[in-house]
Structure 1
Amino acid sequence: MKKAFVAAAVACTIAAIGPTHAADPYPTRPITVVVPFAGGSASDVLARVVLDRMGNTIGQRFVVDNRPGAGGNIGSQMVANATPDGYTLLYAGSGPIAVNKTLTPNLGYDPETDFAPVTLSVVLPNVIVVNPKIPANTLAELVTYAKAHPKELYYGSVGIGSSQHLGGVSFEQVTGVQIVHVPYRAASQMSTDLISGETQLGFQLLPNVLAGIRGGQIKALAVTGDKRLPALPDVPTVAESGIENYRAGSWFALLAPKGTPPEIVARLQKEHDAAMADPELRARYVELGAEPVALAPAEAAKFISNEIATWREIIRKGGITIGQ
């Protein structure tokens, strides 16, 4: 009788503990968000803006973990292999999540199957910029100058397959110019060399060059989006400048490892959407040349698949390989 009573008591205790533990609300500790590029890069700046706002309402801090290398592949693979419990997330863009599936053999992860997209976060056009020493004040003048000086203009990027690199590749394909790609390890050095004249041309995300543009150290000729940027109201779009069918730009998404419980993904999406509705946050993104977005997980997954197909065509047409 005594043994039976003890066993029953233990069983009741376990039953009582189990549901309480299962009902613990997410999150109960800080959430690590891997940004697969260096601190101070566009992705890092954009991530911190929304994550700081989300942390105010979700009840836990979002801790940014910068893991640069291999065009964003190192940090992305780290998250793909992480425990799918909602405490390790990825804030990454078109490079590691779309472009690199075509560009990098043996990538180590599949962007379409190894992640649970939470949402598309922002989209960013590139800004076509030149060093002031280049005698071009419009995009048409740049094309004319570049054709007269084949392979004499150098443009920087944060790596093969980045939006800056493919912005240059796409520019060559639609205009017929020949320019030279120079990959950098960090956006800061890339911007420094553009200002000094070590490189003369760029297809940059606005956060990387905004200070230089405002300081007169860099000339902005055109933006690659469908409309002008509020931060650069006097700079025309590429289409306004007379060039059609030009594709360039970037985007960033928030993703979790595959297998993350749907209720956690939904909670993260809800917090992200609430952050994006904040007028102060939206104003900050506009200042950075970014357009806030909030897509449902299924819509974000479809968007990523479409981007993979689009950039596959441009990469193959350009004959781009990881060895370039």
Structure 2
Amino acid sequence: MRSLLTSAWIGLAVAAFAGPTAADTYPSRPIRLVMPFGPGSASDTIARIVAEKLSAQLGQRVLVENKAGAGGNIGTDAVAKSEPDGYTLVFAAPGPFVINRTLDTLPYDPERDFEFISLVAQLVNVLVVNPTKIPVANVQEFIAFVKARPGQIGYASVGRGSSQHLAGAYFDVVAGTRMVHVPYRSGSQIAVDLVSGDVPASFQLIPNVVGQLAAGQLKALAVTTKKRSRSLPDVPTMEEAGVANYESYGWFGLAVPKGTPAAIIERLQRETAAAVADPAVQARLVEIGTEPGSSTSDEFKAFVSAEIIKWRDIIGKAAIKSE
């Protein structure tokens, strides 16, 4: 008994005087933020702005690593299978976390295999048209123009399941129109073809067309969110333009593999919220057409679950098929 008590006291003493835990010293080396899309995209730009601020706050570099492919699934899956130690994060987006769950058979489960840190930004879609090819002044005229040409008006997106694709498909459902989806590999090529008129319309992300809008080469008819965008304050919302029960937008946030220590998740959530709230960061994000904003981990998780249900229903109604 005396030996057991002695051992117990030694164990308690060791625990009391042991060095700090991994969470206490986190981060002690650079952090990898996996961007599941290619460089130069709007999402990539947002990730790098946030990573730069987090690096300054955490005292360790947050390195953005592009790992594109399969609509974001490849990079996201790589993070799901990474060590849950807080040193590998993923830049979460609707495609690999919400849309692809309905359209594809995923090698990971977005809700089961990740811990959610925080949302960081909302990316507004804006209905833009080539003013020569589609000479309309507002959304109601656009609807009438498309209805008079069923199956003839194409709208461009960066691919099946993207927020641009689904914004158009959802619009067809709500407005009773029938457009043709024209998928592209590159957002920059979409902008070129919109200006030339090769494709006459798109539900584009604001950063991808802000220059063309400023130059008068494209016309913005409405944004797809409930509130007007700070980047395009004179452009009405779809509801203001007469289209009720319609909202579609891109969003981004940070997530880590399931099993990451709670203390590390809490630290990352606090630091992310502080980074997004920084006035300089907010100004940079708004300048490129983004609506910055953070959330708690639980709020982000609940948001993703609700988005999965919402878009599964819309995809079914729009008869978007898996490939």
TM-score, with structure 2 as normaliser: 0.91
Q: Is the 8 A contact 2:228 2:237 kept in 1?
A: yes
Q: Is the 8 A contact 1:169 1:318 kept in 2?
A: yes
1:226-271 CA-to-partner distances (Å, cap 9, x unmatched) read 1211221211111111111113111111000111111111111111
1:145-198 CA-to-partner distances (Å, cap 9, x unmatched) read 111122222111122111000001001001111111112222222222222222
- Unpaired runs of 5+ in structure 1? 1-10
Corresponding residue for residue 6 of structure 1: none
Alignment of 1:230-241 (within 5 A): 230-241=230-241
CA distance in 2 between counterparts of 1:187 and 1:151 reads 23
Query: Does the residue aligned with 2:239 lie in a helix, a strand or coil?
Result: coil
- Unpaired runs of 5+ in structure 2? 1-9
Fraction of identical pairs, as percent: 50
My pick for the range that moved more, 107-116 or 22-31, is 22-31
Q: Which amino acid aligns with 1:281?
A: V
CA distance in 2 between counterparts of 1:156 and 1:66 reads 24
Q: Which amino acid aligns with 2:59?
A: G
Q: Which amino acid aligns with 1:254?
A: L
Is 1:115 aligned with 2:114? yes
1:104-158 CA-to-partner distances (Å, cap 9, x unmatched) read 1x21111101111001111222101011222112111111111112222211112
Query: Does the residue aligned with 1:125 lie in a helix, a strand or coil?
Result: strand
Alignment of 1:199-210 (within 5 A): 199-210=199-210
- What is the CA-CA distance between 1:88 and the residue it aligns to? 1.0
Q: Which amino acid aligns with 1:107?
A: L
Corresponding residue for residue 87 of structure 2: 87
Query: Does the residue aligned with 2:189 lie in a helix, a strand or coil?
Result: helix
Closer/same/farther in 2, CA of residues 267 and 176 from structure 1, 3 Å limit = same
Query: Does the residue aligned with 1:242 lie in a helix, a strand or coil?
Result: coil
CA distance in 1 between counterparts of 2:109 and 2:67 reads 18
Q: Is the 8 A contact 2:34 2:66 kept in 1?
A: yes
- What is the CA-CA distance between 1:21 and the residue it aligns to? 7.2
Q: Is the 8 A contact 2:121 2:293 kept in 1?
A: yes
Corresponding residue for residue 135 of structure 2: 135
Q: Is the 8 A contact 1:160 1:322 kept in 2?
A: no
Is 1:124 aligned with 2:123? yes
CA distance in 1 between counterparts of 2:194 and 2:303 reads 33
Query: Does the residue aligned with 2:25 lie in a helix, a strand or coil?
Result: coil
Q: Is the 8 A contact 1:126 1:204 kept in 2?
A: yes
- What is the CA-CA distance between 1:322 and the residue it aligns to? 2.5
CA distance in 2 between counterparts of 1:29 and 1:238 reads 46
Q: How many aligned positions are there?
A: 309
Alignment of 1:171-320 (within 5 A): 171-320=171-320
Query: Does the residue aligned with 1:47 lie in a helix, a strand or coil?
Result: helix
Q: Is the 8 A contact 1:92 1:253 kept in 2?
A: yes
Is 1:46 aligned with 2:46? yes
Q: Is the 8 A contact 2:85 2:261 kept in 1?
A: yes
Is 1:163 aligned with 2:163? yes
Q: Is the 8 A contact 1:43 1:92 kept in 2?
A: no
Corresponding residue for residue 322 of structure 2: 322
- What is the CA-CA distance between 1:29 and the residue it aligns to? 1.5
Q: Is the 8 A contact 1:38 1:186 kept in 2?
A: no
Q: Which amino acid aligns with 1:321?
A: K
CA distance in 1 between counterparts of 2:231 and 2:68 reads 28
Query: Does the residue aligned with 1:208 lie in a helix, a strand or coil?
Result: helix
Q: Which amino acid aligns with 1:112?
A: E
Q: Is the 8 A contact 1:71 1:158 kept in 2?
A: no
CA distance in 2 between counterparts of 1:198 and 1:37 reads 25
Corresponding residue for residue 69 of structure 1: 69
Query: Does the residue aligned with 2:150 lie in a helix, a strand or coil?
Result: coil
Q: Is the 8 A contact 2:118 2:254 kept in 1?
A: yes
- What is the CA-CA distance between 1:288 and the residue it aligns to? 2.6
Q: Which amino acid aligns with 2:30?
A: P
CA distance in 2 between counterparts of 1:137 and 1:68 reads 38
